[in-house]
Amino acid sequence: MSDLSLSKTVEAAPPRQFDFDRALNTFGAWTLAILWALPLLYAIWTAFHPAAYEANFELFAPLTLENFTKAWSAAPFAQYFLNTTMLVTLILVAQFVLCTLAAYAFARFEFPGSNILFTLVLLQLLVMPDILIVENYKMIRNLGLIDTIVAIGLPYMASGFGIFLLRQTFKTIPRELDEAARVEGAGPLLVLWKVYVPLAIPTYLAYGLVSVSHHWNNFLWPLIITNSVETRPVTVGLSIFAAVDGGVEWSVINAATLMTSGPLLIAFLLFQRQFVQSFMRAGIK
């Protein structure tokens, strides 16, 4: 509709070419969006219908919640949800504090070795976390933290990506604001709190979303470092359905998948506008 009204206002330009370009764009966007949404739509379809309709599409197939009850009772999901929530909150809070302080230091303070240290932080981005599993395990064991929620989060708290991202954001904040605050008598930490952090909120939001969704979905490390129901996250509960030997029950798997990813999906839909805007401003694409 909007392109119709637009084409009317720009009479001078050759309307046909303009329309074509626009239509192609719209078409491309819709195709990508549908392709992206298909697995999700399929998951929703199978989760709410009996197993017999997994592969046959029938508009008026009977609806059921049985798959959800089956999935819910296959593992202690209530406990797992609590664990995952605690885990992502813990990691996010720790990351915000550590990365903010480190990024502030790298962005605004000159100290000997700062370049070498920052290079080391950047190197962290290049190392695949999987390579470090054994070393991390040894470290956690020496700390006596095996099978705790803190142990799952600890290796991720000092995030190189977070430090890098916040440093770049802090660097774009005009020094004049910083100096003005100092003239008013604010110390370095107060300046950080009153000037830098508020201006970097879009970055925090965007980084927070990436971090939460990554740790919500993380599987191998939590599986390796924990042993008991009291510490394990939802992904470990979900893995019990991936039992190839016994034949895969898509309807139950999809019900479980929707259940575990549900909170994230709902949160994203609720805050969609803020997230998209903060991504544009923070420059994470």
Partner 1 sequence: MKSIFKSLGLAASAAALSLGTAISAHAVDLQFYFPVAVGGKAAQTIEELTAEYAAANPDVNIDAVYAGSYQDTVSKALTAARGGNPPQLSVILSVDMFTLIDEDVIIAFDEIANTEEDKKWLNSFYPAFMENSQTGGKTYGIPFQRSTPVLYWNKEAFKAAGLDPEKAPATWEEMVSMGQKLVKKDASGNVAQWGVRIPSSGFPYWLFQGLTTENDVILANSDGNKTNFDDPKVVEALQYLVDLSAKHGVMAPGIIEWGATPKAFFEGNTAMMWTSTGNLTNVRNNAPFDFGVAMLPANKRRGAPTGGGNFYIFKDSSDEQKKASVDFVKWITAPKQAAKWSMATGYVAPSPAAWETDEMKAYAADFPPALVAREQLKHAVAELSTYQNQRVTRVFNDALHAAITGKKTPEEALKGAQAEADRILSEYR
* Residue nearer to partner 1 on the CB measure, 26 or 227: 227
* Residue nearer to partner 1 on the CB measure, 90 or 264: 90
Q: Which of residues 243-262 bind partner 1 (CB under 8 A)?
A: 243-250
Q: Is 120 in the site for partner 1 (CB under 8 A)?
A: no
Least distance from partner 1 to the Cβ atom of residue 281, Å? 26
170/195 Cα distance (integer angstroms): 10
Binding mask 199-238 for partner 1 (x = CB under 8 A): ---------------------x--xx--xx-x-----x--
Candidates 101, 146, 186, 210; binder of partner 1 (CB under 8 A) is 146
Least distance from partner 1 to the Cβ atom of residue 169, Å? 21
AA identity, residue 80: Y
- What tokens appear for 108 in the block? 């605004």
102/109 Cα distance (integer angstroms): 10
- What tokens appear for 92 in the block? 């996010």
Q: Which of residues 149-168 bind partner 1 (CB under 8 A)?
A: 149-150
Least distance from partner 1 to the Cβ atom of residue 267, Å? 21
Size of the site for partner 1 (CB under 8 A): 38
AA identity, residue 38: L
Least distance from partner 1 to the Cβ atom of residue 6, Å? 45
Q: Which of residues 96-115 bind partner 1 (CB under 8 A)?
A: 97
Candidates 61, 117, 133, 177; binder of partner 1 (CB under 8 A) is 133
Candidates 123, 134, 270, 280; binder of partner 1 (CB under 8 A) is 134
Residues that bind partner 1 (CB under 8 A): 54-55, 74-75, 86, 90, 93-94, 97, 133-134, 137-138, 141, 145-146, 148-150, 220, 223-224, 227-228, 230, 236, 239-250
